[in-house]
Amino acid sequence: MAKVKTAFFCSSCGTQFSKWLGQCTACKQWNTIVEEVIQKEEKVAWQTKSSVGVKRVSKPLLINEIDSSQEVRLNTLDGELNRVLGGGLVPGSMVLLGGEPGIGKSTLLLQLSLKLPYKVLYVSGEESQKQIKMRAERVNPNNTTCYILTETNTQNIFKQIEDIQPDVLIIDSIQTLHTDYIEASAGTISQIKETTAELIKFAKETSTPVILIGHITKDGNIAGPKILEHMVDTVLQFEGDRNHVYRILRALKNRFGSTAELGIYEMQGSGLREVSNPSEILLSHRQEELSGTAIASTLEGMRPLMIEVQALVSTAVYGTPQRSSTGYNLKRLNMILAVLEKRAGFRLGMKDVFLNITGGISVDDPAIDLAVVVSILSSNEDDAVSKDFCFAGEVGLSGEIRPVNRVDQRIQEAEKLGFSKIFISKYNKITYQSKQIEVVLISKIEDLVSALF
């Protein structure tokens, strides 16, 4: 391959030099010499046999002339992944999946490629074909549409793509690929940008969906340049604790759907199982009633969830009381404690307060404020709240209970799971009428305290 030739020019007078100098010897100007490319090899990274020697020119169209018919999405036969993507894989889209090592990224995409009824090419730069076969035996050993290729050179991958012509391309992982047009090792910023650009060109010209696996850094960001996330259409994050069996799939960016949806999986010996009812894993199945726990009705995207909020209030051993929260905003916890102190008269200023959202998830929905208040007061009074009660309301700075959105969905979910009462703001407009669950309307924290304790 011919090397790219560069030279140095003075941006002031245009004199050419063979190397960089601080001062131009012709015009005596300082710091004006810059490097420029004078010969660059023509790229042929991706081209179909029919397009060889043919230059396509893009033609502008009036926006009214553009075909607006809905593109048919590819059904992945995975309800959780379909929900996160917005209904399935869009033809010609680029999906980037990131996550910690060992979290299950390769397992998820291998399971997907073995489940899809389309022709899939699974390209791995990290495992041999025998290693992938060993993992595939646990999931679906009788698949007849999945091709496995162990290759890291993009030019060789495109040759195999021309022969197989897959409907879906999966790359594991983008950090292991390299192209002949960049003289750098695999995983460097220039290689990641160039190989991704080649795959995007292939995806858009052939309307083939491409799914990439991306490594992450110790900070939790996808390794490589930030422009990688701008180049692709969808960025998915696969997260969870390796000490627990549950995994959460989130969309950080999605050009074809919502970023508020999430999918939940359970890691088993035979692969990842879809969890269609997340409340089953977020609620503990305890028999006796314990103080310091309350059930909150929250929403993740379009999906209502019932989560358990646990609080522990104890006398401060040291001079400064501790405030700690897991899965809940610590600043919001401090605000709620100040409201309880000022508006409701509870002396919590010299007590330690620990808060935990069970299941290892983080919640941003302000509707769980009411359950946080109930769990704190329950632990402080050491008085248990019935496990058949649930709560949905935002707490304001003046101690009022503010309304929350989509309250009808929350009531229906609570009714479906067998709760007897749900506490909400009296300012909510309710259209759903139910005879199986009692809706308790409250306006202030004082109403809540008198109703429960």
DSSP string, 217-283: -TTSSBSS-THHHHHSSEEEEEEE-TTSSEEEEEEEEETTS-SS-EEEEEEETTEEEE-S-THHHHS
Total residue count of the chain as it appears in this document: 453
CB atoms within 10 A of CB 156: 13
Other beta carbons within 10 Å of 103 = 19
pTM > 0.85: no
- State the pLDDT at residue 43: 55
- State the average pLDDT for the chain: 85
Q: Please report, in angstroms and rounded to a whole number, the separation of the first and last CA atoms in the chain.
A: 79
Query: Residue 181: which pLDDT band, with cuts at 50, 70 and 90?
Result: confident
Give pLDDT, residue 350. 86
CA proximity to 390, closest of 277, 275, 284, 309: 309
Q: How confident is the model at residue 1 (pLDDT cuts 50, 70, 90)?
A: very low
Residue 422's pLDDT is 92
Sign (positive or negative) of CA dihedral 420, 423, 427, 429: negative
Q: In this structure, are residues 198 and 46 in contact, taking their beta carbons and an 8 Å threshold?
A: yes
Assess whether pLDDT exceeds 80 at residue 277. no
Question: Which residues line the annotated binding site?
Answer: 99-106
CA 182 – CA 191 distance, rounded (Å)? 6
Binding-site residue positions for ATP: 99-106
146-159 mean pLDDT? 93
pLDDT the model gives residue 161: 93
Determine which helix (DSSP H) or strand (DSSP E) holds 145, and give its type and residue range.
none
pLDDT grade, residue 180 (50/70/90)?
confident
State residue 371's pLDDT score: 94
DSSP class of residue 357? E
CA distance 294 to 244: 23
Tens digits of residue pLDDT in 321-360: 899 999 899 999 999 999 999 888 888 888 999 999 987 7
Please tell me which residue, 132 or 48, carries the higher pLDDT value. 132
User: Tens digits of per-residue pLDDT, 192-216?
Assistant: 888 999 999 999 999 999 999 998 8
How many other C-beta atoms lie within 10 A of the C-beta of residue 350?
Answer: 10
pLDDT band for 286, please (50, 70, 90 cuts). low
Q: How confident is the model at residue 38 (pLDDT cuts 50, 70, 90)?
A: low
> pLDDT per residue over 252-271, tens digit each?
899 998 887 888 888 888 88
Q: Which residues pair with 214 in a beta bridge?
A: 98
Question: What are 143's two structure tokens?
Answer: 């698949």
State mean pLDDT over 410-428. 89
